[in-house]
Amino acid sequence: MRTYVLGLITNRLGSSALTLLIVSFAVFFATAMLPGDTATILLGQAATPEAVAGLRAAMHLDEPAFLRFGRWLIGLLQGDLGTSYVNNLPVAQLIGARFVNTMRLAGIVTLFAVPLSLTLGITAAMFRGSVYDRIVTILTIGIISVPEFMIATSAVLLFSVYLKWLPALSFASDVTSFWQVLRIYAMPVITLTFVVSAQMIRMTRAAVIDTINTPYVEAAILKGASRWRAVLLHALPNAVGPIANAIALSLSYLVGGVIIVETIFNYPGVAKLMVDGVSTRDLPLIQSCAIIFCVGYLALITFADIVAILANPRVR
């Protein structure tokens, strides 16, 4: 049985590696097909054809796309993200500090969103059909229906423009107190928590309700177990797999949501760096940022699948 479980985990890891290879192929050729010539953009419209041709040769842009893709993929496997076309600096150096900022923001959002979502999702499932359940359902559907850029823009208008409680920009280099940290991170954290929690609450509620409706939980209730005991001791342990998938899928939404939030609040993270790279057509920077987001997404999904495998008593 242990060999069978290890086989399932190995197959899942292999599928993730294959998916990452396909995604890297798609990312490279999608960025390579961006309109405009990188050498012309960097040198300006007044550059001579000889200068443009020389810069293209120096950046290997005159080589076939598959040859450049192979060189780039080998560099990725060796930990070399390449050199920025614009700054002539290692991409890893440009991403380093920004990556810490993005992980800090994602960590704070996770710290708030996961306990809140699990609490509301589990309690809504326990009292399904009640007024409390209906209020939670209506609020989550309403939040899901509103795009994250609308939530972020509304937060700026309300808290920065009208109330003047929070700064419109979410980063400052002269932070000297804990209160300033709260003010700086408040709006991006609130925006992402709203976006992530809504879907997580609905998926957690559905997973717990499915487990509550199983025969062994109904038998526990018929034997006199209280609602709290039946859910927490009987239903919840067997809903770990679906709940882990709900958390992973919801947090993976940060990959897309953080791009919009970092841009609106001018937060210096990897997503904002990627947007700046698109404007200057810095292909190595764009490709590296995209791969980082893809790795984060696949890591969350793969981890959730492994947890689901280990938590499934039938598999064990």
Tens-digit pLDDT profile for residues 39-50: 766 676 667 777
pTM: 0.78
Closest residue by Cα to residue 281 from 84, 47, 134, 129: 84
CA–CA distance, 69 with 29 (Å, rounded to integer):
8
Q: Are 242 and 210 in contact (CB under 8 A)?
A: yes
Spatial neighbors of 186 by CB under 8 A, at least 6 apart, are 159, 166
Q: Are 244 and 237 in contact (CB under 8 A)?
A: no
With cut-offs at 50, 70 and 90, classify the pLDDT of residue 315. Answer: low
Q: What tens digit of pLDDT does each residue of 114-165 get? A: 999 999 988 888 888 889 989 998 988 888 887 777 888 888 888 888 887 7
Q: 172 or 90, which is more confident?
A: 90
Q: What tens digit of pLDDT does each residue of 50-102 get? A: 777 777 777 777 777 788 888 888 888 887 888 888 777 888 888 887 888 88
Closest residue by Cα to residue 120 from 196, 191, 189, 187: 196
Q: What tens digit of pLDDT does each residue of 189-222 get? A: 888 888 888 888 988 888 888 888 777 777 777 7
| CA dihedral angle for residue 209, residue 213, residue 218, residue 219, rounded to 10 degrees | -120
141 φ, ψ to 5°?
A: -65, -40
Question: What's the full length of the chain, in residues?
Answer: 316
Computed from CA positions of residues 132, 135, 137, 143, in that sequence, does the dihedral angle turn out positive or negative?
negative
- Could you give the domains of the chain? 2-34+81-311 (1.10.3720.10)
pLDDT of residue 105: 83
